[in-house]
Amino acid sequence: MTYSRNSCPACGVDPLDSQEDACPQCGSLLASPRWQSHEPAYLRRRLFAAVVDHIIAIPLTQFLVYLLMLGIGPLSNGYQLLWSQALYPLYFFLTAGLFSTSLGKVILGMTIVHQTTGQRLTWKEAFFREVLGRQLNAYLFPVGLVGVRRRYSRAQTIADEIGKTVVVRKRNA
């Protein structure tokens, strides 16, 4: 199902009455300026952005662990792994909290917004999405995007649902 002007940009329920101010299904504010210029991003685009993000985050995490080892001395393999696991979500949390996106999403013209208001993420939403949601998604579904659920007309991960977010892309004008 593709996005249309008569469907909700947040949950994809279709058709909507043109008189509605909010979606009857999810409560999204339909007049939000964000929904005038953005539409949901779908699986293929999100998958490519995730690959780019992991290509950036893995070496960055390893570099930070290396710097840590320079500062406090050699670590056993178990401690290196522990620090890597602790620092890895930091990339995603900081980029989502600061910019409401990540480098992979920037390259593909996407951003993360609140699912009903269409506004950029708060630090609380970024924490729930990127730290709690991603970890839960990783443990329940070892391959990250296998956890994508096609609820309504958009691909949403468990992390999106926990953070009450949706990934959107710039609409072609």
Task: Give residue limits of the domains in the chain.
Answer: 33-170
Cis peptide bond prior to 15, omega within 30° of 0:
yes
Confidence of residue 152 (pLDDT cuts 50, 70, 90): very low
C-alpha distances in Å from residue 7, one per residue of 1, 3, 4, 18, 138:
10, 7, 5, 10, 31
pLDDT of residue 129: 92
Q: Is 150 left (phi over 0), alpha (psi -120 to 50) or beta?
A: beta
Contact at 8 Å (CB) between 36 and 168? Answer: no
Instruction: Give the residue from 154, 170, 168, 169 showing the smallest Cα distance to 25.
Output: 154
162 or 116, higher pLDDT: 162
Sheet holding 38-40, edge to edge: 38-40, 165-170, 110-114
pLDDT digits (tens, 9 = 90+) for 105-116: 999 999 998 887
β-pair type (38-40, 165-170): antiparallel
Residue 96 has pLDDT above 90, yes or no: yes
Q: What are phi and psi of 151, to 5 degrees?
A: -90, 130
Question: What pLDDT shows up at residue 3?
Answer: 42
pLDDT tens digits along 12-59: 666 566 666 677 777 766 665 555 667 778 778 888 998 999 999 999
